[in-house]
A and B are shown apart, each in its own frame.
Chain A
Amino acid sequence: MSDNSENGKYKVIGTRPIRHDGAEKVIGKAIYGADVRMSGMLYGQVIRSPHAHARIKSIDTSKAEALEGVRAVVTSKDLPKTNEDDMIDLGEGMTRLKYIRDNILASDKVLYRGHAVAGVAAINQQTAEEALSLIEVEYEVLPAVVNVIDAMKDDAPLLHDTLTTDEMGEQTDKKSNIAAHLQHKLGDPEKGFKEADIVIEHEFHTATVHQGYIEPHNGTAIWNPDGQLTIWTSTQGAFVVQKQVAAVLDHPISKVKVVPTEIGGGFGGKIPIYLEPVAALLSRKTGHPVKLLMTRAGVFEGTGPTPGSYVRLKLGADKSGKLVAGDCYLAFEAGGYPGSPMFCGCMCIFACYEVPNAIVNGYDVVVNKPKSAPYRAPGSTQVAFAIETMLDEIAEKLGMDSFDIRLLNAAKEGTRRVDDLVYPRIGCVETMEAGKASDHYNTPLEGPYRGRGVATGYWFNIGFKSCVTASVNEDGTVNLMEGSTDIGGSRTSIAMQFAEVLALPVEDVNPRVGDTGEIGYNDVTGGSRTTYATGYAAYNAAQDVKAQMIEIAARHWELSADDVEFTDEVFKSKKDSSKKLNFKELAKIGSADDSPVIGKGSVNLGFHIGGSFATNIVDVEVDPETGKVTILRFTAIQDAGKAIHPSYVEGQMQGGSVQGIGWALNEEYFYNADGKMENSTFLDYRIPTALDLPMIETIIVEVPNPTHPFGVRGVGEANIAPPPAAITNAIYNAIGVRFRELPMRPDRIIAALAAKRESEPLEAVAGS
């Protein structure tokens, strides 16, 4: 049942209808990857390296293959032969095909503990797991490096024999763990620092953190004798899976069909592929469908977390608090293969502010950890931690309010960034102003060991390709086929945008997420693009349907189409106002007399880097005896451009905030000296639950995106950027200790308080 829109401008947009997939999800009938079952299906599992870095000397699968109930074993030998220099474009730049294939099943080396080495298919899960224990892998253990600073040293163990540093397409000659170096420069930073009244510089460290989706990776494949391969998988992008699988298996893309199941969280981590090619190979060998489900330990150790990082930031300001110079050095851990979001970090570090003289040097560094994957605004959280805490430090030195220094420096339309791009209309100032005016910020916080912090973050949001088709049923309902995995209610948000154009109740639009054989190409559900780009495609499809319906009405009334219009929610003759029909009436007429109405919308959207800004206000209380930090109150503010379904926007804001809180206080990959993760279960990798946190209050700001018909800005990502910095600032205001390392675990809080009591310098703990 739709509520009436409060804004008066739209009939559907801005309301809060029940999502189309809601009922089946809450009663457990939605089909997820683990629910896929078919006749003759086998069950698979993957053996993973126990070592962080080792050469594979041999793999003996004979005993596993001889076990009763085992039907096939595959290793990298079952993948196509790869030449060292083969490159592949997977939509995010060229990557070595060897890296992709080796990450699926290691060939000559394992580069992290958890690296997949072989896959088994058996008649049941237990037999598959028993078979794993019979696979004998002989390793030559090599020294491991699990820290970005150590990996960059000249004497660091090299992960790859041929890796050199890429500098915007130019390779250096030196073999290194540094896979890429990027520099942005604006103005004259040296001059800016000379003229500054205040200059501060600090180092920051963040740990490896996982996206923490509740649903593990999965893949079911059936490889038919005619070469047709069908894969069911939980993914953020069925077409990207199709492209990657076709490349990895060297199989025609036309023979690969990917069916996306419902997804239990992704956050970027379900863009890469892991199990799908293994399932496909096992199916090809056995002639049966094969399903693989990843264990939780496998998820932590074998899939992509977000990088740990090192950031060194120097800021210069004048005595009014205006930033005059910035210098950032950042190094991100890519994991075993190149490709961290270092480029994004370089883009985001100064993105919230006008910094007229700035330089950023970013480094993408391989280490013996799982290959990193995107995690919600990848790279932005790590850099926001640095700049947002240092801004507060400058504000304190100048006796300024935390919001005032931000507003003084806030990026606006026309601000030129360090990457030399210029902002269009953006909502940075508006989110800060909303924060400063909020009830939260204007409610005094009292009590010992309590403090309040604020921070702002950013994500640029992408556009790219989406398409939808819409078919009108004779009863006036519409079947809307889309290709975007539904994350956070997006199928309903997309349906709402379609419905708005035709003034339909959204319940009369039936959205469905199709597979790669049913709909045209769609880029991933990620990058905060889906409500924006697929919504735009739906808008276009609705316009197409409208045009066809006008034609039908014209034929029905024996008029020219130019004499018919759609206005006031009906189709009517411009010449005779008594001639009017609503959508349902016209659909019934059309179904009898006319061709089926099929609307299409297809977009390939560029995107301005205006994106979305998010601001947080957080109140904390620190227990000085246990070091536990309690979140007392948390307000998330974000610019949504136009909130199509406000509940889903709020959900994104709350979800990103919770993940940011976990990142700040608890979450990290805890490695021992041998590069083995010691906390690869949810028992020991502590993410916040509903029991840990208060309700996250939300304030939606709407500064319309000029490039979208409804003004939509993606909201999925920017909200994870500010929480760690806001909490760091709050903890400083609570206990007088400024942290520069995440997470701010209880033991670190205790140690910092002890040091403070012994009159050590106020500057914290690690990385100062």
Chain B
Amino acid sequence: MQKLTNGTSVVMVEGKTVREVIDNLDKQFPGIKDRLCENDRIRPNFAVAVNSEIITVGLRKQVEPDSEVHFLPAVSGG
């Protein structure tokens, strides 16, 4: 997805929830919200990690100052 962020791998952005983070990310890099979200939720083929914990509450997950938010492929197991 670095094509959408002009090659930048780490981006600083404001937000108190994952939703706000994505909204503000989209202001910097238009189109990224559409890549990540659909029907007001994270697309099912993505997993979101906040401070390296894969979260299950989607956009409403609260984030703290200095939180790291990662977008990864969805994972499962066997």
Interface residues of A (CB under 8 A from B): 89, 91-94, 168-170, 182, 185, 211, 267-269, 271, 341, 343-344, 347, 373-378, 419-424, 459-465, 524, 526-529, 604-609, 717
Contacts and interface: CB of A to CB of B under 8 A. Distances in A.
Contacts of A421: 49, 52, 70, 72
Query: Which of B53, B55, B74 has the most chain A CB within a 10 Å cutoff?
Result: B53
B8 interface: no
A717 B78 contact: yes
A92 B47 CA distance: 10
Nearest to A378: B78
Given A93-B44, A168-B1, A459-B77, 6 more contacts: A170-B3, A267-B78, A462-B77, A527-B77, A609-B54, A717-B77
Is the contact region of chain A dominated by helix, strand, or loop, or is it mixed?
loop
Contact of A169 (B36, B76, B78): B36
Interface in B20-58: 35-36, 43-46, 49, 51-57
A343 B73 contact: yes
Contacts of B12: none
30 contacts: A89-B44, A92-B44, A92-B74, A93-B44, A93-B45, A94-B43, A94-B44, A168-B35, A169-B1, A169-B43, A169-B45, A170-B3, A343-B72, A343-B75, A344-B75, A375-B78, A419-B72, A420-B9, A420-B68, A421-B49, A421-B52, A423-B52, A459-B77, A460-B75, A463-B56, A464-B56, A527-B77, A527-B78, A609-B49, A717-B77
Contacts of B71: 168
Contacts of A461: 77
B22 to A, nearest CB: 13
Contacts of B70: 419-421
Interface residues of B, number: 27
A423 B51 CA distance: 10
Contacts of B74: 92-93, 343
A377 B52 contact: no
B43 to A, nearest CB: 7
Contact of A377 (B9, B68, B78): B78
Contacts of B44: 89, 91-94
A454 B9 CA distance: 36
Interface of B: 1, 3, 9, 35-36, 43-46, 49, 51-57, 68, 70-78
Contacts of A604: 56-57
B66 to A, nearest CB: 13
Contacts, number: 107
Given A463-B54, A604-B57, A347 B35 contact: no
Nearest to A169: B35
Nearest to A90: B44
A341 B73 CA distance: 11
A604 B60 CA distance: 14
B32 to A, nearest CB: 10
Contacts of B68: 420, 422
Is the contact region of chain B dominated by helix, strand, or loop, or is it mixed?
loop
Contacts of A94: 43-45
B46 A92 contact: no
A115 B53 CA distance: 39
B77 A377 contact: yes
Contacts of B56: 463-465, 604-606
B35 A268 contact: no
Contacts of A419: 70, 72
A424 B51 CA distance: 10
B78 A92 contact: no
B52 A424 contact: yes
A464 B75 CA distance: 11
Contacts of A170: 1, 3, 35
A341 B19 CA distance: 28
Lowest 10 A-B CB distances belong to which pairs?
A268-B78, A527-B77, A374-B78, A93-B45, A343-B73, A89-B44, A93-B74, A421-B52, A606-B55, A422-B52
A93 to B, nearest CB: 3
Contact of B53 (A341, A526, A606): A606
Contact of B76 (A422, A462, A609): A462
Query: Which of A92, A168, A170, A375 has the most chain B CB within a 10 Å cutoff?
Result: A168
Contact of B78 (A347, A376, A605, A608): A376
Contacts of B75: 343-344, 347, 460, 462
B73 A529 contact: no
A299 to B, nearest CB: 16
A526 B46 CA distance: 19
A92 B76 contact: yes
A359 to B, nearest CB: 12
A169 B77 contact: no
A608 B77 contact: no
B54 to A, nearest CB: 5
Nearest to A605: B56
A213 to B, nearest CB: 12
Contacts of A91: 44, 76
A344 B35 CA distance: 21
A169 B46 contact: yes
Nearest to B32: A169
A607 B54 contact: yes
B52 to A, nearest CB: 4
Query: Which of B43, B45, B51, B70 has the most chain A CB within a 10 Å cutoff?
Result: B45
A378 B77 contact: yes
